[in-house]
Amino acid sequence: MSGVMSGPVPFRRVAELEEAGVAFATAMVVAVQRPTSARPGARGIVHPDGTIEGWVGGSCAQPVVVREALRSLQDGQPRLLRLSKDAPAEGRRGDGVVELVMTCHSGGTLEIYVEPHLPAPARWVAGTTPIAAAVASLGAALGWRVSVFDPVAEPEAFPGAELVSQETALRRIDPDVTPYVVVATQGIWDEEALDRVLRREHVAYVGLVASPTRAAVVRQWLRDEGVVPERLAALRAPAGLDLGAETPEEVAVSILGELVQVRRGRAPFVAMPGPATLAGEPGDAGAPVAQAPDDIVLVDPVCGMTVERAHARHLAEYQGVVYAFCRMGCRTAFLREPAAYIPGTTTPAAEA
């Protein structure tokens, strides 16, 4: 049962709630035809739990206002409620007016404007690539709350982001937040980021910036690592609408367009992964060594790429030697069959 919080509802209270980043709906009486107990200008705030601050009508009108306010929080659309004993039918008209037959009140007509106030959605960007920068910049310009995560991220490079962090444990960050996540590391730590994000309990969208070929490789890696099918199926890879984009800014526009579709309920796909079914932190079990030791082989034995020491994050030790890898996929392939990549060595099984 909804509760009532009595007292006036000054506009500063609305500002406080918006600053706190919480969801709520406002309701204001805009017109009356007497007899009614409410007066024009009466207003209230409806919280997601059904409680009201302020007053917008008597015991007959209040439950209806709460119901429609909660619906507005679900669909994000404002509505004008017209409560009348003589309304032609109960339902929503095409112009946004909700006609409600109210036989229990005193007989007048009451019009109440209900408006949802939803916090700006959280967009997480993994990576420091030009595409990551474009997604972060354009996302902030659209009013999203942008956070950037990467081990080498610097705040100066992302002036529009409200948070720039070198944290990579994306599964554990703000567990109550439901972010829209775009992974744009472009091969640096794609697998790590996606593995951890897809194991979050709350996530609204997960997209990977990659070519179709690269996306297929990443999907197979995630599948091999035990990411359950109902979560992997929600991964958008490649991310974005097919606009023929080429520049980082154009790619960012295609991704933002897809995110708008998801947010507004217009996407032709299911974006939110299903419930997490894996316990523990399997995504972190094989995490690379945090800091590269002095004695390290900087040539990736799988693909032959030379890894910069300052950016060496994917490491593995084999027979007393530490090797650096350009990305998680190479490290995983090496650990499965190291002898295939180190000439003159054999696997422990072969030695036995």
Could you tell me which residue, 221 or 62, shows the higher pLDDT? 221
Domain shared by 31 and 93, yes or no: yes
Q: Give the Cα separation of 269 and 225 in Å (integer).
A: 24
- The string over 82-99, giving b where at least 16 C-beta atoms fall within 10 Å of a residue's C-beta and e elsewhere, is bbbeeeeeeeeeeeeebb
pLDDT class of 334 with cuts at 50, 70, 90:
confident
Mark whether 148 and 88 lie in a shared domain.
Answer: no
pLDDT in tens, 253-273: 999 999 998 887 788 887 887
If you average pLDDT over residues 319-336, what whole number do you get? 78
The owner of tokens 């009614």 is 36
Co-location of 163 and 72 in the same domain? no
pLDDT at 298 over 60: yes
Domain harbouring 200, CATH code: 3.40.50.720
Q: Are residues 228 and 272 in the same domain?
A: yes
Query: What pLDDT digit, counting tens, does each position of 138-190 carry?
Result: 999 998 999 999 999 999 999 999 999 999 999 999 988 889 999 999 999 99
Over residues 213-236, the mean pLDDT reads: 91
**The predicted structure's pLDDT at residue 324:** 84
With bands split at pLDDT 50, 70 and 90, how would you rate the model's confidence at 322?
A: confident
109-140, pLDDT tens digit by residue? 888 999 999 888 899 999 999 999 999 999 99
Tokens matching residue 24: 């709520």
pLDDT in tens, 230-245: 889 889 999 999 999 9
Same domain, yes or no: 128 and 26: no
| Cis omega (within 30 of 0) for bond into 273 | no
State the pLDDT at residue 252: 96
Residues 270 and 346 in one domain: no
pLDDT of 292 higher than 80 = no
Listed residues 262, 283, 304: the one ending a domain = 283
Model-level pTM? 0.64
Integer distance in angstroms from the first to the last C-alpha of the chain? 69
pLDDT band, very low/low/confident/very high, at 278 (cuts 50, 70, 90)? very low
Same domain, 207 and 322: no
Rounded Cα distance, 216 and 86, in Å: 61
CB 267 within 8 A of CB 241: no
Q: Are residues 266 and 336 in the same domain?
A: no
Q: Are 145 and 123 in contact (CB under 8 A)?
A: yes
Q: Across the chain, what does the average pLDDT equal?
A: 81
63/150 same-domain check: no
* Distance (Å, whole) CA 25 – CA 14: 9
Q: Which domain-ending residue is among 224, 249, 283?
A: 283
178 and 276: one domain?
Answer: yes
pLDDT of residue 352: 32
DSSP 8-state symbol, 299: B
- C-alpha 173/C-alpha 180 separation (Å) is 13
Q: How many distinct structural domains can be found in the chain? A: 3
Q: How far is CA 23 from CA 48, 112, 178, 200, 321, in A?
A: 7, 19, 13, 22, 54
Same domain for 205 and 82: no
By residue range, what is the domain housing residue 249? 122-283
87 and 151: one domain?
no
Of 77, 96, 117, the last residue of a domain is 117
- The values of phi and psi at residue 13, to 5°, are -70, -40
User: For the chain, what is the radius of gyration of the CA atoms?
Assistant: 27
**Closest of 172, 197, 174, 188 to residue 132, by C-alpha:** 188
> Which two tokens mark 198?
């897809």
Helices 130-141, 248-263: crossing angle, 10 deg rounding:
50
